[in-house]
Structure 1
């Protein structure tokens, strides 16, 4: 099994498990991602963690052997890109917070997976690279937008023009990752302790901004106003007044 989902209490762990190929992603794996993401969203878990099942790696990106064999076939290429795009879209728009934990190399399509998550925590030995220029390819628009949204156009161009691998410290400095840590546990604990309703609506609000919305509409006004009638607001206020930790459902 090269890809699997484990529900561990408040955390849905989406694990890449192909260590003999440095977690390179095949077409079958891209096809399997959306159903597992949907299962994680439907589960009682409060957050989704994307990680390697094996320490010391995240993902080397697409399986280049498979890619080289299929990429000249327009039908295979279209199916491959559609599966990658859907996986990234589903992660980016999942109705729960998503965190990528990167331990080791995170390259090409692996970096695209991490970028589709809300947050990225990496160990000190993590390395990052996006390498289409080394293969004479063009990074797709959706993937490029994820990168530009995260690090800005100039730093995105440098990574794409050069295909250079950068370490965790530089990745943190340019905003590619959010923290350097030996484990994602502290960040996950901070997330699952807070209001899931607030997080879901905030994620939807940020996505609207990233997709180009700049002014409130009826939907965003309803998102803001509706929270005041919710159970999480009642619990948050009660906890504050009673000087206790909120227990959000």
Structure 2
């Protein structure tokens, strides 16, 4: 296991925890590099239906560990290598078929916000703060992360966040679409929503999650993959069970994992 990041499972839900509380869960190069493999483990684990991304302690993450930058980002080659690890982590989260939830306490800044935006949903406590700060470091933000952010909040708010580097509170983040919802009891209410996702047809959840991702990436018409997802669902056990449960007025017992 890589220092500073932990993967655990509780029933149907996996939790990926940024675990450097003494440094407000600042993300090291090794942590960035470990994320794709851990996400692949979640995708491959048939017992897992939902991934929750969280930070240990009072904060989600203060961002990338800038203390490493003089050594790891001191040359163009070093920048390229470091950015490749960041991009791979973002792509792994954004490309998941299983739904992902960022559960956010305290500060969610820089690379921490970057990871949260790569998740499907972001739930925050009322005291959480958000900011994306490349303009404070002379960095031009990653293309894919800029696309994901712009998709969430629109060009004007993406410019506000990226060009100013200003922080916004949870209520403002929800207003602009950066946060899905704000919960007073973050742990319990996030757990309840994860349980709801786990109770639904996983054929539906993963198929629709994939189609939404393709639309966000620019797909404008059904393609062979989309047609196959819908055809397989129509022929699948979950569809037969869902219709039968509705007609019999009972809860469905979905079996697909």
Name which of structure 1's ranges 99-108 and 65-74 shifts more when overlaid on structure 2: 65-74
Unaligned runs of 5+ in 1: none
Count of matched residue pairs: 248
Residue 21 of structure 1 is aligned with which of 14, 19, 23?
23
Residue 53 of structure 2 is aligned with which of 38, 41, 50?
50
RMSD after superposition: 1.1
Could you say which residue in structure 1 is the equivalent of 2:223?
217
What does 1:12-161 correspond to in 2, within 5 Å? 12-43=14-45, 44-54=47-57, 56-161=58-163
Could you say which residue in structure 1 is the equivalent of 2:237?
231
Name which of structure 1's ranges 183-192 and 4-13 shifts more when overlaid on structure 2: 183-192
- In the TM superposition, residue 243 of structure 1 has moved relative to its aligned partner by 0.9
Deviations 1:211-249 (A, max 9, x none): 111111232222222211111111111111111111222
TM-score, scaled to structure 2: 0.94
Deviations 1:162-209 (A, max 9, x none): 111100000000000111112211221221110111111111101111
Whether the 8 Å CA contact 2:13–2:49 is kept in 1: the answer is yes
Which segments of structure 1 move beyond 6 Å, counting only runs of 4 or more? none
In the alignment, the residues of structure 2 paired with residue 222 and residue 75 of structure 1 have an alpha-carbon distance, to the nearest angstrom, of 41
Could you say which residue in structure 1 is the equivalent of 2:13?
11
Unaligned runs of 5+ in 2: none
In the alignment, the residues of structure 2 paired with residue 14 and residue 141 of structure 1 have an alpha-carbon distance, to the nearest angstrom, of 24
TM-score, scaled to structure 1: 0.96
